Chains A and B, each alone.
Chain A
Amino acid sequence: MTDATLQPSSPATAKVETPFQRFRTEFFESRIASGAFVVLVIIILLAILAPWITPQNPYDLAQVDVLDGRLPPGSEAFAGYTMWLGSDGAGRDLYSAILYGLRISISVGLASGVIALLIGMAVGLIAAYVGGRTEAVIMRVVDLQLSFPASLVALMLVAALGKGVDKIILALVVAQWAYYARTVRATALVERGKEYVEAAQCLGLSKMRVVFRHILPNCLAPLIVVGTVQTASAVSLEATLSFLGVGLPQTEPSLGVLIANGFEYMLSGRYWISVFPGIALLLTVASINLVGDHLRDVLNPRLKK
């Protein structure tokens, strides 16, 4: 071949655009998604920075004064700072308690999400690539698992295991791995049938390399989408369990515990104890879900023009 056949690069495609850059441009085209993303980032930052930006450590019993209990928003605490969101029955500053609660809720959601994702991914990939009886057994277990509501599975497990952060994470992982496994298997099956996988076979590449270097990266997009949605549902599931009193202990209040604590005061007009943690939970779950929804639109090639 001579140089005459070298294809000229047209100006429109001259700059190297990685798939990530393209994805970023498309993602921030939606105002709602951008807004939700900003809210989510703020929430996460608040949660991370909680020890430095709150007046009180609600876990430190020495800092909590029962005499501060049930004060309305804007009251002054015994220690001298203003409780902008009021206080709960135990005298915890709600603003501080909410940020610390967010920390727990988000880390529980993320930890269980990541662990469930890794387990589900491995199981799903094995099912798709090995096939046959292994696949049939794995997928029937997945079906069985998915036929129970996740909250029921988690509730039974926590009831059996007892309270504690580690136990609730375990319960959430057991309740959710099947979603990831099903997603990964479905995508991997589609990808396995594509010609680039056959080409990799022709090139004599090992099975491990084909599965992890070729098939897996192409399954990530739907996995990210399921991951965000499942993390949101893990956060709300944890809140549900804590609200029901089987999740986290009173000494480590997550958002669910805070809402439950305030519930008994609702009718007596002390709305703030439940409502403010409730709003925080709503904002967190809604922003993760909105981001996840839009991720699905952007990452799903079938919806692309």
Chain B
Amino acid sequence: MTAPLVEIRDVSKRFARRLDVAGKIARKLGADIREEVVHAVDEVNLDIREGEVLGLVGESGCGKSTLGRVVAGIHAPSSGQLLFEGSDVATMSSADKRAATLAVQMIFQDPFASLNPRMRVEDIIGEAPRVHGIVSRSDVPDYVDDVMRKVGLDPSLKRRYAHQFSGGQRQRIGIARALAVKPKFLVCDEAIAALDVSIQAQVINLFMDLREEFGLTYLFISHDLSVVEHIADRVAIMYLGRIVESASTEEIFSAPRHPYTRALLAEAPRLDQRKRDFAPIEGEIPSPLAPPDGCFFNPRCPHAQELCRQKQPKLETFGEAHSVACHYWKDL
């Protein structure tokens, strides 16, 4: 087994909404305002091995995007460690840190907001390589052409602005921007969710081609199980900031253990299921501001027992690296 490229050790990310002066006064006067703390990511442990694609699945508000941004270095973890190639990013020398920053790039969901509308494509792609001296100044134009060709863009369009491209092409520009700094690791945050169906397939194929060509490692964040099933080697399922299950793709889809994973699998619409009677799982995703006691899934879980309401289950590993956080996984 290859060594992990990225290790996430007990990483938590909390967002606090502090009260300003007006808020503090209002509270003194009896208004119902509190300092709110959201545990967007709650003590997550994950290893991502070199060359693998780890799918991170969850619903809105489960913290998957926040975790992706912690891995990509956009947010610093509130507690815990992020290790890149075995060393802690927080304590690295500044040169190492820069190398680590460049080695991990992110592909965003929104192909509109993720490109600077005031820059030409050649600058969007070429700026970082020029600033960091990845290629010499005079070679930048050729380098940009080269990167554009790799992602399937016509280099003759590089003088244009982002708004002159279609959604799929913009996403390619975003991918080119990331590739231009020669990353080892791509964090794809819902990278195809905003695209048309026929364009999604093009971009998925592009990700797979790039993986082969450059030996890239991916953290592929998505709510879409079928896409993750297609592209990932391993899958982790998140619910309200915690990993509830992780295993190889094969195992997650053939032998899911956690009731939440089962619900997700059963309820994702599939082409081969016709006129079926949906019997969906009840209830809503609780607010991360006020998560339930014990297992976060217990209010919606059909198998919940007294223990689930009191004690938070630990992630247990069995078989070949299959982990599940459920008190009763053996009985299900």
User: Which A residues have a C-beta under 8 Å from some C-beta of B?
Assistant: 1, 5-7, 9, 13, 16-19, 136, 194-196, 198-205, 209, 213-214, 217-218
Of chain B, the residue at the smallest CB distance from A17 is B164
Q: How far is the CA of A38 from the CA of B156 in the complex (A)?
A: 38
Contacts of A199 in B (CB 8 A): 106, 108, 114, 174, 177-178
Contact across chains for A19 and B115 when beta carbons are under 8 A apart? no
* A196–B115 touching, CB < 8 Å: yes
Q: Are B151 and A1 in contact (CB under 8 A)?
A: yes
A75 to B269, CA, bound (A): 88
Q: Counting CB contacts under 8 A, is B221 at the interface?
A: no
Of chain B, the residue at the smallest CB distance from A214 is B116
Q: Which of B115, B132, B177, B178 contacts A204 (CB 8 A)?
A: B132
Given A195-B110, A203-B181, A218-B117; A6-B153 close (CB under 8 Å): yes
Distance (whole angstroms) from the CB of B99 to the closest CB of chain A? 9
Query: Could you pull out 15 A-B pairs where Cβ atoms are within 8 angstroms?
Result: A6-B153, A7-B154, A7-B166, A16-B164, A19-B163, A195-B109, A196-B115, A199-B106, A199-B177, A202-B106, A204-B101, A204-B132, A204-B181, A205-B131, A218-B117
Alpha-carbon gap, A201 to B164, bound state (A): 24
Q: How far is the CB of A24 from chain B (nearest CB, A)?
A: 15
- Chain B residues with CB below 8 A from A195, complex form: 108-110, 113-114
Contacts A6-B152, A13-B164 known; A202 to B113 CB distance under 8 Å?
A: no
Q: Total contacts A to B, CB within 8 angstroms?
A: 92
Interface size on B, residues (CB 8 A): 49
Q: In the complex, are the beta carbons of B151 and A205 less than 8 A apart?
A: no
For A5, the chain B residues whose CB sits under 8 A away are 152, 202
Stretch of B28-36, B46-54, B67-75 that contacts chain A: B67-75
Question: Chain A: which residue is nearest B69 at the CB level?
Answer: A198
Choose from A1, A9, A217 the contact partner of B209 (Cβ within 8 Å). Answer: A1
Q: B164 to chain A: which residues have CB within 8 Å?
A: 13, 16-17
A19 near B117 (CB under 8 angstroms)?
yes
Q: A202-B178, A203-B102, A204-B181 are in contact. List 6 more A-B contacts (CB 8 A).
A: A16-B164, A136-B20, A194-B114, A203-B177, A214-B116, A218-B118
User: In the docked arrangement, what's the CA distance between A13 and B166, Å?
Assistant: 10
Residues of A within 8 A of B157 (CB): 9
The 6 closest A-B pairs by CB, nearest first: A195-B114, A203-B128, A5-B152, A217-B118, A195-B108, A204-B101
Contact between B128 and A204 (Cβ–Cβ < 8 Å)? yes
> Which residues of B143-174 are within 8 A (CB) of A?
149-154, 156-157, 159-161, 163-164, 166, 168-169, 174
Tell me the B177-195 residues at the A interface (CB within 8 Å). 177-178, 181
Contact A1 B206 (CB under 8 A): yes
How close is A56's CB to chain B, nearest CB, in angstroms? 48
Contacts of B110 in A (CB 8 A): 195
- Enumerate chain A residues within 8 angstroms of B113, measured Cβ to Cβ: 194-196
| B21 partner residues in chain A, CB cutoff 8 A | 136
Q: Are B74 and A202 in contact (CB under 8 A)?
A: yes
Least CB distance from B121 to A in Å reads 11
- Asked if B314 lies at the interface with its beta carbon under 8 angstroms from chain A, I say no
Report A206 CB to chain B, min CB distance, Å: 8
Chain B CB count within 10 A is highest, among A6, A18, A202, A209, for A202
CB contact list, B75-111 vs A, under 8 A? 98, 101-102, 104-106, 108-110
